[in-house]
Amino acid sequence: MGTFARSRERSGAEAQTMRLRTTLLVVFLLGTAQIAAAQDARAVLQAAAAAMGTANLRSVRYDASGFGTYFGQSYAADADWPRFEVSNYTRTIDYPSQSSVETYARRQGNYPARGGGPRPIQGLVTSILNGGYAWTVDGATATPAPQTTEMRQVEILMTPHGFIKAAMAAANPTAASFVVAGTSEVGQTSGGRRMTVVSFIALGKYRVNGTINDQNLVELVQTWLPNPVLGDMLYEMRSTDFKDFGGIKLPTFHHLHLGNFRLNQGHDYMEIRLANVQPNVAVMPPAVPEAVRQATVPPVRVEMQRLADGVWLAGGGTHNSVVVEFRDFVAIVEAPLNEERSLAVVREVQNRLPTKPIKFVVNTHHHFDHLGGLRTYVAEGATVVTAQANKEFYQDVVLYPAPRTVQPDRLSTYYPFFVNARREAIETVNVRQKYVLSDGVRTLELLPVEGLEHSAGMLMAYLPNEKLLINADLYSPPAPGAQPPTSPTPSMVTLNDNIKRLKLDVRQHVPIHGRPGTMEEFTKIVDTAVLSRAN
């Protein structure tokens, strides 16, 4: 081997050694930086714990009042969640047992009765958590709520002291500091003050950030929760107006956000001012009822009910879809709840109609429980048909190609590059227009609902040959054996007005909630309102 060859070989070996040394140095420095960040985070947490008296706080009870909202039920797609008054609010948190009891009364108050949610707003809400078990209480009835367990566990660590306790117990918390310029959105902090954000992973998957001010008080806690509509959804609690309770500093004001900042800078979830705060109250964690202990999240069940030749109700849960067969394709009316529900309906359609693609999915309105499975059908290649008022929200939020890190879905996992396709995947129905799907034999008409307070941009679907009218949230026939209502709801009156305005010949009502019913049933209920208005 020549001198040059040996030199080149030696140089290559030396270069490889140098690269290895450099890599090891970088790894060492990164590891050192992570250790330093963790050490800095623990120092920040210890200082905050000392200032706030966290080590001395085992439990807290507070009484409050303010407002709450109906998440995902706004009147318009770009509006805040509809509000209601909250009174007689009490909450007790026991940190060692990770238990919580929250009770409050709700009423419409002075807030406008527009948007979704039950009407009229009234009654008590009681939510309970004991470790890994969650349930609600209505009177003497305990209803298991296993699907809310993680959310309620997160709620505890969103409190200032809950955050400190959880962050100090975390394996690798990190910290970063910054100086506020101008007026901060964090609490009520003004410019020039130093803030430190401590971050850790909770419950193995939730990134939780706590902002600690220059007085070592936790002003803001944020995390991101999975949501079928919004994806990685921001959840935050701003805690201010701290007061000293025997060496323990506790906030007397909480403001919570739950939503997506690409859509709306507000999305208020709850705001309460604490009138009475009691640290270290005697707490007996609530006993877990046996039914709650045994409960699991029920599997998705789809029951196909034939409504007419080539038309099925896909029921079996709290929400329905309607499957309409055409000569060369299938249209689905409504994609409610989430991807799991939509995939179950898709499987049923494929089993019954294996050669026909799902070409259209009709969305009646923008409320989250009615569009949570929409992305699943887009991933199947379907075109969304919805009201014109919803288009911007669906393009820029629902179908936005951002990663979904907490809970990926099919669209984000298998079709991440549909940036342009998302604008082509939506067709809209304008006000006072009729959108028609037809193959020359079967016709499906999509009709805007006028004069509705429940939701802007509501559509109903009508099959003129079959005389079937599909509606969401406007009318559901009473359950078998139940007494019909003695008077119609405002939404039922609006539905009746629209049937007459459009001169629809309806034989059967097919709701997205509940069972199908006859026009005669509907007419008997709404006649009282018609007679009242006539007089």
pTM score, two decimals?
A: 0.90
How far apart are the C-alpha atoms of 393 and 15, rounded to whole Å? 54
Question: What does the block give as tokens for 135?
Answer: 């349930």
SS3 337: coil
Beta-carbon count within 10 A of 355 CB:
6
The answer to whether residues 111 and 84 touch, using CB atoms and an 8 Å cutoff, is: yes
* pLDDT tens for the 535 residues of the chain, in order: 433 333 333 344 444 434 434 343 333 333 444 555 666 999 999 999 999 999 999 999 999 999 999 999 999 998 899 999 999 999 999 999 999 999 999 999 999 999 998 877 778 989 999 999 999 998 889 999 999 999 999 999 999 999 999 999 999 999 999 887 765 554 455 567 889 999 999 999 999 999 999 999 999 999 999 999 999 999 999 999 999 999 999 999 999 999 976 665 568 999 999 999 999 999 999 999 999 999 999 999 999 999 999 999 999 999 999 999 999 999 999 999 999 999 999 999 999 999 999 999 999 999 999 999 999 999 999 999 999 999 999 998 999 888 899 999 999 998 766 655 666 789 999 998 999 999 999 999 999 999 999 999 999 999 999 999 999 999 999 998 899 898 999 999 999 999 999 999 999 999 999 999 999 999 999 986 555 555 4
**CATH 3.60.15.10 region(s) of the chain?**
303-534
DSSP states along 344-412: HHHHHHHHH-TTS-EEEEE-----HHHHTTHHHHHHTTPEEEEEGGGHHHIIIIIT------SS--HHH
Please say whether the beta carbons of 376 and 409 come within 8 A: yes
Helix (H) or strand (E) holding 29: helix 3-52
Q: For the domain covering 303-534, report its CATH number.
A: 3.60.15.10
For domain 40-293, say whether CATH 2.50.20 is its number: yes
Angle value at C-alpha 93, between 90 and 99, nearest 5 degrees? 120
Domain boundaries for CATH 2.50.20 within the chain: 40-293
391: nearest Cα among 417, 361, 415, 425: 425
